[in-house]
């Protein structure tokens, strides 16, 4: 039995197969653009260091060193001992350990607030842009009302109202109601007041996407609105959520500092805002290192987050990439 001759077209196709480039998705193309941005990659490493320090703080390793006396009151920075690299405060505690512990508080507040804000802004923007009518009017009235109040005043007022308020159906081991204090107060105050910008962006994009052919086809085959929203429209606006999340992260950390400085934030554990609050009187005595340490930490974090946010916007936003 003779062996049939191989099809030359098949042979050529097999030879060219390794040369065929895989389809370039939005996420793959975006990652390649970010990798090509050296400054964005440096900032990504810096942000990873902050996250690592925050995770170390959650292990409890810093709980004892942060309150331990390691030197004299208002000891100047010294290179002879790690805990004295950034000096000491009025109680002789290491400013370095308190600075590292503050990263845990800052990232907890920033991430949780950004999650709450993103969820609220995304859901309201999706339903407003997709359903239109009275739903759209209601959402517009809601975010117009919230945005008409100065942001910092609204956050301060909400934090003041929430602070000390008992949580319904939540009790401690002794059966006593649990009151809101510290981080939960800041997270709720920031998350419940900072969703307006994302909601507007999502609504505007959904107004355009709901008229696309694939959405009309999904309606024609009888898909439910929830399936259309979360399986066909949400993936096309997800880049906006990521960009808003990254840019808002730095703003939430700065807001935590302001609230802690005003006595409405974290008061039961070290934070960058509390360090700045403690240092306001130290400056009169020429003690600058605690203020400088907290300020530099906030500045570097905010700068890195904003640069990464700009890089994500340039890499993922179809309008900036020349894609409709």
The DSSP secondary structure of 129-178, one letter per residue, reads HHH-HHHHHHHHHHHHHHHTS-HHHHHHHHHHHHTTPEEEEEE-TTSPEE
Expressed in angstroms, the distance from the first to the final Cα of the chain is 58
The parent domain of residue 138 ranges over 27-316
The CATH number for 302's domain is 1.10.3720.10
Q: Does residue 186 form part of some domain?
A: yes
Residue 310 has pLDDT above 50, yes or no: yes
Q: Does residue 22 form part of some domain?
A: no
Res 174: pLDDT: 62
Using CA atoms, how far residue 314 sits from 136, 247, 248, 311, in Å, is 29, 13, 16, 5
Q: Does residue 302 form part of some domain?
A: yes
* Cα torsion 60, 61, 65, 66: sign: negative
pLDDT, greater one: 280 or 196: 196
Q: Does residue 21 form part of some domain?
A: no
Task: Tell me the per-residue pLDDT of 60-119, one tens digit each, with 9 for 90 and over.
Answer: 888 888 888 888 888 888 888 888 898 888 888 899 999 999 999 889 988 999 999 999
Assess contact for 269 and 62: CB atoms under 8 A. Answer: no
Q: Directed axis angle between helix 38-58 and helix 289-316, to 10°?
A: 130
Res 19: pLDDT: 46
pLDDT, greater one: 148 or 178: 148
Nearest to 109 by CA among 193, 190, 180, 181: 190
Residue 233 has pLDDT above 70, yes or no: yes
- Least confident range of 46-55, 125-134, 194-203, 208-217: 208-217
Contacts (Cβ under 8 Å, ≥6 apart) of 136: 128, 129, 203
Task: Tell me the per-residue pLDDT of 189-208, one tens digit each, with 9 for 90 and over.
Answer: 889 889 999 999 999 999 99
Cβ burial of 202 (10 Å; 0-12, 13-18, 19+) is buried
Nearest to 263 by CA among 188, 147, 185, 149: 185
Q: Does residue 132 form part of some domain?
A: yes
Res 123: pLDDT: 94
pLDDT, greater one: 134 or 18: 134
Assess contact for 92 and 73: CB atoms under 8 A. Answer: yes
Assess contact for 191 and 112: CB atoms under 8 A. Answer: yes
* For residues 274-291, average pLDDT: 85
Residue 318 has pLDDT above 70, yes or no: no
Using CA atoms, how far residue 265 sits from 60, 62, 190, 258, 295, in Å, is 21, 21, 11, 8, 17
In order, the DSSP letters of 62-80 are: TTTTTTSB-SSTTPPP-SS
Q: Does residue 271 form part of some domain?
A: yes
Q: Does residue 16 form part of some domain?
A: no
Res 6: pLDDT: 52
* For residues 141-158, average pLDDT: 86
Residue 8 has pLDDT above 70, yes or no: no
Q: Does residue 15 form part of some domain?
A: no
Q: Number of structural domains, the chain?
A: 1
What is the distance between the alpha carbons of residues 315 and 99, in angstroms, rounded to a whole number?
A: 33
Res 154: pLDDT: 85
Q: What percent of the chain has pLDDT over 90?
A: 25
């Amino acid at each position: 039995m003779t062996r049939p001759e191989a099809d030359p077209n098949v042979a050529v196709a097999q030879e060219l197969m390794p040369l065929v480039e895989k389809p370039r998705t939005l996420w793959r193309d975006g990652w390649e653009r970010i990798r090509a941005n050296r400054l964005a990659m440096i900032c990504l490493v810096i942000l990873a260091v902050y996250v690592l320090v925050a995770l170390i703080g959650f292990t409890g390793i810093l709980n004892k060193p942060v309150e331990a006396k390691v030197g004299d009151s208002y000891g100047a920075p010294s290179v002879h001992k790690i805990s004295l690299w950034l000096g000491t405060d009025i109680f002789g505690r290491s400013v370095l350990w308190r600075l590292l512990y503050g990263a845990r508080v800052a990232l907890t507040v920033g991430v949780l607030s950004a999650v709450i804000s993103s969820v609220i802004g995304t859901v309201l923007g999706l339903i407003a842009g997709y359903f239109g009518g009275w739903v759209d009017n209601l959402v517009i009235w809601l975010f117009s009302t919230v945005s008409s109040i100065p942001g910092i005043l609204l956050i301060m007022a909400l934090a003041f109202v929430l602070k000390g308020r008992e949580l319904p159906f939540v009790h401690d081991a002794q059966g006593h109601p649990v009151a809101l204090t510290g981080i939960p107060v800041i997270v709720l105050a920031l998350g419940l007041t900072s969703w307006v910008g994302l909601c507007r962006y999502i609504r505007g994009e959904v107004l355009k996407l709901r008229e696309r052919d694939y959405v009309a086809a999904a309606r024609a085959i009888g898909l439910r609105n929830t399936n259309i929203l979360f399986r066909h429209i949400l993936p096309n606006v997800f880049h906006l959520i990521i960009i808003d999340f990254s840019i808002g992260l730095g703003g939430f950390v700065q807001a935590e500092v302001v609230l802690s400085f005003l006595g409405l934030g974290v008061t039961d554990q070290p934070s960058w805002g509390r360090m700045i609050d403690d240092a306001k009187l130290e400056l009169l005595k020429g003690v600058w290192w605690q203020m400088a340490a907290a300020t530099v930490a906030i500045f570097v974090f905010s700068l890195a987050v904003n640069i990464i946010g700009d890089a994500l916007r340039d890499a993922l936003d179809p309008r900036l990439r020349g894609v409709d």
